[in-house]
Amino acid sequence: MVRSSEIMANVPNDRLKLIFIIFFINGIGTLLPWNMLINADKYFVSYKLNVTDSTPAVDNYRNSFLSYLGIASKAPNILLQIINMFIGAHGVGNLAHRITYSLVAQILVFIFIIAMAIIDSSSWPSIFFWLTMMSAVAINLANGIYQGCVYGLAARFPMKYTNSVTMGMNVSGTIAAILMIISIALSPKENVEALIFFSCAIIILFICLIGQFFVNKNEFYRFYAIPSMMNSNLNLIKSINACPSCFEKGHSETSNNNCPHLSRALERSVSYNGKSSHDKQPLIESKMQQYLQVLRSIWMLLINILLIYVVSLSLFPTVHARIVPKDNIISHVYFSPVFCFLSFNLFATMGNLIAQYIQWPGPRHLIIFSLIRLLFIPFFLYCNYYPGDGLHRSLPVIFDHDWMYIIGSITMAVSSGYFSSLCMMYAPKCVPSHLATISGQMAALTILLGILIGINISLIYPYLVG
């Protein structure tokens, strides 16, 4: 019998973890444009739109800027992710080209935004506002393609590579939070602060673009990304009757009878001999049948993803940012930037990192923990959450100490990062290998839907406590 360790010797290695790092950086790039735009809101609201001869229309733009920005960002992002998912992308070149073009488009739009920051627009604030909204639409149209393609491509690789993208998304929020804290400490002018944010976005996106020119010649990348070479990978797994996920992690002698980490739900979708139970049927030709097959296989994981992001994004940052400190742990000026923005993104990244080494529970039992996380909603509403400027609330405060909020916030962040990583890692492995890309794109789209629903649910919370 051929030993798995002998076969693994013939599989290309990810030297210096280069491909893992590139996927991680691309994960940063997928959310960085959004993070930089919302963190520069003072530049838009207090600087560019705060003009002397203001009109009612401009006042409305200024007061509701983040709402307008959210619509201009999330709606086109979701639309393009849906379109991108339904456009065939079986070849590595197809996805790689889309990633390249979308990165170039985002960089060009950010250069335009920087040019707008330099130009004096005080005499035409309405035009500036709509140019900004059009820029947000353009960036997120490109970003919708970019995010879907990155997850779709990562889905063809071992599970940890999908997780590296998810980890990068949380790191992008950490970077934005650190820049926010630095800007508070240095107190630069609003336009200088915006230039720093937008320049950082361009630098990260440019690094992502450079990475695309290196990966196509990398043997490890080609081994997993190119469909014909993926089939060779499955044949290797079949020859030792191994669990695909254990094989990917380099575990030797892990047979189909003693896989240590995957549940029956995953076993039913992908058998351990490298063939899916669906492979016994004739080859599926209809694209719609493929999407339905993926949906039938991972619908429970998609519900988990939706629940995780709805809970997290309905509370962060809207509720967390309006938790009023009581115990003087740090200056009030830094309380929200540190214990809301930095804390959530940093500990969510730690949750992602834990998922690299511990994959429990399996897909079948994740729903239990996703439902338990719903308890975070009443917990934070009973903290020192004051939604209005008048600091009025009729709901009693039960958890009135800062350390209670901080521990709850850390727990929510770690669980959000951990369970979202598990969902994103499991989803491509619950379908036959030729459908892994669709599965990854479907999961990425569900993340965005969860974020959008969560943001809208957060609008209800002020009425619940008021």
What mean pLDDT is reported for the chain?
84
- d(C-alpha 123, C-alpha 58), whole Å: 12
Q: Which residues pair with 383 in a beta bridge?
A: 399
CATH T-level assignment (fold) for domain 15-225 = Growth Hormone; Chain: A; (1.20.1250)
Rounded to 10 degrees, the C-alpha dihedral 111/112/113/118 comes to 90
Please tell me the pTM assigned to this model: 0.85
215 pLDDT band, cuts 50/70/90, is confident
Q: Which residues contact 56 (CB under 8 A, 6 or more apart)?
A: none
| pLDDT interval class at 38 (50, 70, 90) | confident
Tokens of 92: 């590595």
Which range has highest mean pLDDT (41-50, 167-176, 244-253)? 167-176
Mean pLDDT computed over 385-403: 84
Backbone angles phi, psi at 161, to 5 degrees: -75, -35
202 vs 194: CA distance, rounded Å: 12
Q: Which residues contact 334 (CB under 8 A, 6 or more apart)?
A: 181, 184
> Is the pLDDT reported for residue 204 higher than 70?
yes
pLDDT of residue 282: 43
Q: Is the pLDDT of residue 39 over 70?
A: yes
**What's the Cα-to-Cα distance from 204 to each of 29, 170, 208, 209, rounded to whole Å?**
6, 14, 6, 9
User: Mean of the pLDDT values across residues 430-437?
Assistant: 83
Instruction: Report yes or no: 156 and 15 within 8 Å, Cβ to Cβ.
Output: no
Per-residue confidence at 9, pLDDT binned at 50, 70, 90?
low
Tokens describing residue 451: 């974020």
Angle between helices 190-215 and 18-39 (to 10 degrees): 160
| Candidate from 80-84, 93-97, 278-282 with smallest mean pLDDT | 278-282
Q: What is the pLDDT of residue 102?
A: 95
Residue 254 has pLDDT above 70, yes or no: no
Using the predicted structure, report yes or no on whether residue 147 has a pLDDT greater than 80.
Answer: yes
- Of residues 356, 459, 349, the one with CA closest to residue 67: 459
Does residue 255 carry a pLDDT above 50? no
What's the rounded mean pLDDT across residues 418-426?
Answer: 95
C-alpha to C-alpha distance for 314 and 378, rounded to whole angstroms: 12
Mean pLDDT of 390-417: 92
Reply yes or no on whether the pLDDT at 370 is more than 50.
yes
Q: What are the φ/ψ torsions at residue 382 (nearest 5 degrees)?
A: -95, 5
Tell me, what's the pLDDT at 228? 58
Q: Is the pLDDT of residue 404 over 50?
A: yes
237 has pLDDT over 60: no
DSSP states along 408-457? HHHHHHHHHHHHHHHHHHHGGGGS-GGGHHHHHHHHHHHHHHHHHHHHHH
pLDDT of 183 strictly over 80: yes
Higher pLDDT, 355 or 216: 355
Give the model's confidence band at 177: pLDDT under 50 very low, under 70 low, under 90 confident, else very high: very high
Residue 144 to residue 79: CA distance in whole angstroms: 8
Instruction: Average the pLDDT over 360-382 and give the result.
Output: 94
